[in-house]
A and B are shown apart, each in its own frame.
Chain A
């Protein structure tokens, strides 16, 4: 069965420093992977996805993610963090090949960027 793990409940980083939010996955077959961001009392916003192709995927707000098949990871990265990046981040994997497009979400990582 497909699953994702976000091993860190919270990540703290200083403004201007690079940030990484970790995600590992377990799938049977090719993985379809996603990152979402959620600001307080708001819905989730889609950041980026990996379906196939280049291992480095670029998304919204300067974020990127690196797909690593051997390590079954899909870490979210940004070269220089902003205070406004502080939010809850979710990694997700598509469940199988069903047309339902169901996603399995990780438990979320709270990113706190200190000024």
Chain B
């Protein structure tokens, strides 16, 4: 079966510091991968998605970047964090086959920028 991991689970970082959040998927190959941010415990904002290694699409221009160095690894980064980067970051995957449309989410990373 497929599983998705995210780490760290929680993170407290000062303004201006760098960020690296990691997401890995097991039990599938060539998944589509997604990064979301959930602010104020409510709405989901799609930040980045990737359909393959090295292929990153950005949904919202901002202080963050994403990379996919391996097939089942997706990394969210920032060179200098802003207060507004605080939130709950969720990684998700979906199959690339036509029969698998739903996305499956990881446990999330709670980021607090101080």
Contacts and interface: CB of A to CB of B under 8 A. Distances in A.
A88 B112 CA distance: 22
B101 A43 contact: no
A4 B94 CA distance: 20
A56 B101 CA distance: 18
Contacts, number: 57
Given A49-B101, A105-B43, A43 B107 contact: yes
Interface of B is mostly: strand
B90 interface: yes
Contacts of A43: 6, 90, 92, 105-108
28 contacts: A32-B101, A34-B101, A34-B102, A41-B108, A42-B108, A43-B6, A43-B92, A43-B105, A43-B106, A43-B107, A43-B108, A44-B44, A45-B105, A46-B102, A46-B103, A46-B104, A88-B41, A94-B101, A99-B32, A99-B96, A100-B49, A101-B32, A101-B95, A102-B34, A102-B46, A103-B103, A105-B43, A107-B42
Interface of A: 32, 34, 36, 40-46, 49, 51, 88, 90, 94, 99-103, 105, 107-108
Interface of B: 6, 32, 34, 41-44, 46, 49, 51, 57, 88, 90, 92, 94-96, 100-108, 110
